[in-house]
Amino acid sequence: MQSGLVIVGKYRLNQLLGTGGMAEVWSATNVFTEREFAVKFLSPEVAKTPEHAARFLKEAKVSARVNHPNIIDILDVGQTDDGKLFLVMELLSGVPLEVAMRRQTPPMTIPELVFVMTEVASALAAAHRAGVVHRDLKPSNIYLHRDHKSHAAVPKLLDFGVSKFLEDGGPNVALTMAGTVLGSPLYMSPEQARGDSNLDGRTDVFAFGAILFEALTGQRPFDAANFNALIVKIATTPPKDIDVIAPEVPDALRDVVKRCLEPQRDHRLATFEAVAERLVAILPDLEKDPRPLPPPQTILSTDDPDATNALPIVRPGDRPLSVPPPPAAGTPHFSAWPTPTPHLSYTTSPASFAPPASAPAAHMRSIYAGGAAAAAAIVVLLVLLVTALRREPTVITVAGPAQITSASAPAPSVSSDPAVPTVAVDTLPVASKSTIPLEKGKGRLFISAGPSWCTVTVDGVSKGPTPLPALDLAPGTHQLRCDAPSKKSKTVSVVIQEAATANYKFSID
């Protein structure tokens, strides 16, 4: 796959967004409607196994069956001329819950978490009513998506690839291989860890409780030295006691967590309607004392080698996110981005649960304080909308290797430093039309990095972590600096030409 390629005559690939053990995801534009999507391709090697191909395509079947606003919408399924299976889905921008509940400035609060999880419960309730059990619920499969029309942050449930249709009855032979356990062990239910074939919706209730436990305590409910030991521990021992670990969490919320994490599924809350009702009932009291989530004591698990998520996972520290509470009489909802009004309106859906009318009015909490910080608020968004322009290619020459410096070196403030080498930028393929017009007298630059990520500064101004949205720059020489998590940095100069669209990728060790 390559940028500019048009598949099945209508989807033009723009930029590779991410890869996983089973698939790779591209942003794409429908050449007829100019609407942008995400296209996920199943790896050719993985596709050779019928079980994996069935697992991949099952996502589309689940999306069509459930059709819920908090579940990612899969719009098309197809096969390329060379035989690659693909799904076309809505293009999301934002961060996964795993990042939001760990890396925010200011930290996410308990009521904000409960708002998010109430909508997740709504989505899972709808899935269960449609006869679908997710079986792989985890924070990285809950994506906080910025809706570009309402400017609301909407939780989206991802990755139903290992889900089970309840009417199948008995073991799901097509998708459960002998001797294996499907799902993420960190949030797995005891019956799932034991390999039971008669799983029902209560296995998702357990995983839901495990996510709440981790967010509220900073720990996971089970610890073990390795995968096998963890599976055995989940299958044979009770989870940690939230009453002991986090007695400061309100009693009613701790009770919900404990009811979800009951080892015997007959003792758990039976449905997500019941879970959501309890969460909504305690929201008013939580709002009176909006405590922040504790700092995490566990590492991020987003580098999942078997990830099939609809969009790439954001690396640690990519962007801060703040999720303010919703308005008084609305369905639990939230916004992670500034809007012109202090309240967020929300249109209820049949599967949503409205909080009590007595819930206090909630005002949006500012993501950044002060004028300088407000100017940086744009880095909150993980904007993955990428298009190319109808322009002739421009060739730019290379002038030496990139310079590696200490990460503590000051960021450059000018773009003409003779000590910084000038490097080539790759011109992007010509496209029929761009949905993001290029400002007159400017050139466009896309900046990425690999295999790791980095925070980019352009001419001394921080632009945030890679991958960046399009930067429209004045023609001439510009200095780019890339600060990597490895504590090293790379500084280069690039030459931007008017009306040219180009790409530069930092090579990060």
Q: What string of pLDDT tens digits covers the 509 residues of the chain?
A: 888 999 999 999 999 887 766 788 899 999 999 999 999 888 877 777 777 777 777 777 777 777 888 988 888 888 888 888 898 988 888 888 888 877 666 788 899 899 999 999 999 998 888 888 888 899 988 998 887 777 777 899 887 654 444 444 443 333 333 334 445 688 989 998 988 878 888 999 999 999 999 999 999 999 888 888 899 999 999 999 999 999 999 999 999 999 999 999 999 999 999 999 999 999 999 999 889 999 887 654 433 333 333 333 222 233 333 333 333 333 333 433 332 222 222 222 323 333 333 333 333 233 223 333 333 332 232 222 222 222 233 222 222 333 333 333 333 334 345 567 776 665 554 333 334 567 788 988 888 877 667 788 899 888 877 766 678 899 999 999 988 877 788 899 999 988 888 888 888 76
Q: Are strands 142-146 and 94-96 parallel, antiparallel or unpaired?
A: antiparallel
Q: What is the pLDDT of residue 39?
A: 92
- Preceding peptide of 221 cis, ω within 30°: no
Angle, helices 202-217/110-129, rounded to nearest 10 degrees? 170
Active site residue 426: no
Residue-level pLDDT at 314: 28
pTM: 0.59
Those residues with Cβ within 8 angstroms of residue 480's Cβ, 6 or more apart along the chain or in another chain: 447, 456, 457, 458, 491, 492, 493, 494, 504, 506
* Sign of the C-alpha dihedral computed for residues 129, 130, 136 and 142 taken in this order: negative
Q: Where is 386: in which H helix or E strand?
A: none
Cis peptide before 451 (omega within 30 of 0): yes
Q: Which of 348, 496, 374 is nearest to 426 (CA)?
A: 496
Compute CA distances 435 → 28, 336, 476, 482, whole Å.
12, 25, 25, 28
Q: Which of 76, 81, 136, 285 is catalytic?
A: 136
Domains 94-380 and 403-508 share a fold: no
According to the model, what pLDDT value does residue 491 have?
Answer: 92
**Single-letter code of the amino acid located at 265:** R
Distance between CA 60 and CA 74 in Å, rounded? Answer: 6
432 with 390: CB under 8 angstroms?
Answer: yes
403-508 belongs to CATH 2.60.40: yes
CATH H-level, domain 94-380: superfamily: Transferase(Phosphotransferase) domain 1 (1.10.510.10)
Position 181 scores a pLDDT of 44
Bridge partners, 201 (sequence order): none
C-alpha–C-alpha distance, residues 389 and 386, integer Å: 10
How is residue 378 annotated by DSSP? Answer: G
Say what the pLDDT of residue 261 is: 97
Beta bridge partners of 406: 488
What pLDDT score was predicted for residue 44? 79
Cα separation values, 188 from 131, 233, 263, 318, Å: 19, 11, 11, 28
Domain ranges of the chain: 94-380, 403-508
Q: At what angle do helices 202-217 and 272-288 cross, to 10 degrees?
A: 20
3-state helix, strand, coil in the chain (%, to 5): 25, 20, 55
Buried (b) or exposed (e) across 428-437, using 16+ Cβ within 10 A?
Answer: beebeebeee
